[in-house]
Amino acid sequence: MPGTEIVPFSVRHLWLFEPRKEHPLAPEDRLRTWKLCTEYERAGPAFTMFCRGEIVACAGVAILSPGVGTVWMLTSALIEQHRLSFPRVIKRYLENIIKHFGLRRVQTVVPGEMHGAEKWIKFLGLRFEGTMCKAGAGGEDTHVYARLV
């Protein structure tokens, strides 16, 4: 897509980040997200997709241990305009990361109320593994998806 740029992720990108209306970030959530993304920035490869200077999404893989990585993603309000291009970009990056780091398992944890995420996760080749009851930051259930390589 014209005007699209992929750059290495920096936690500073969160200053420019405009969350989706259906997933607003309260002030305490912004602080928690900032802290989590600071860890993600150190934990493995990650990138930010910009379009015309605005953030579409940030994503990456946190390498938890040799052979195991956790996929993470933050999408902005612009993601709907890129619902075809962004999944292809993240899938290509994920495949390269799996090969480069020799991952045998990639996984992600999704808050139970984020029903729209399932389609994207399945596109990446991850399958539902189970529900972790009350494991979310606010005590909500979360769902685990994984792909064995």
Q: What is the pLDDT of residues 11-56, one digit of tens each?
A: 998 888 776 665 556 666 777 888 888 999 999 999 999 988 889 9
Spell out the domains of the chain, with CATH numbers in brackets.
4-109 (3.40.630.30)
pLDDT of residue 79: 82
Mean pLDDT within 84-102: 90
HEC-encoded secondary structure of the chain: CCCEEEEECCHHHHHHCCECCCCCCCHHHHHHHHHHHHHHHHHCCEEEEEECCEEEEEEEEEEEECCEEEEEEEEEHHHHHHCCHHHHHHHHHHHHHHHHHCCCEEEEEEECCCCCHHHHHHHCCCEEEEEECCCCCCCCCEEEEEEEC
With 70 as the cut, is the pLDDT of residue 126 above it?
yes
Tens of pLDDT, residue by residue over 56-91, are 989 999 999 999 999 998 888 888 888 778 888 889
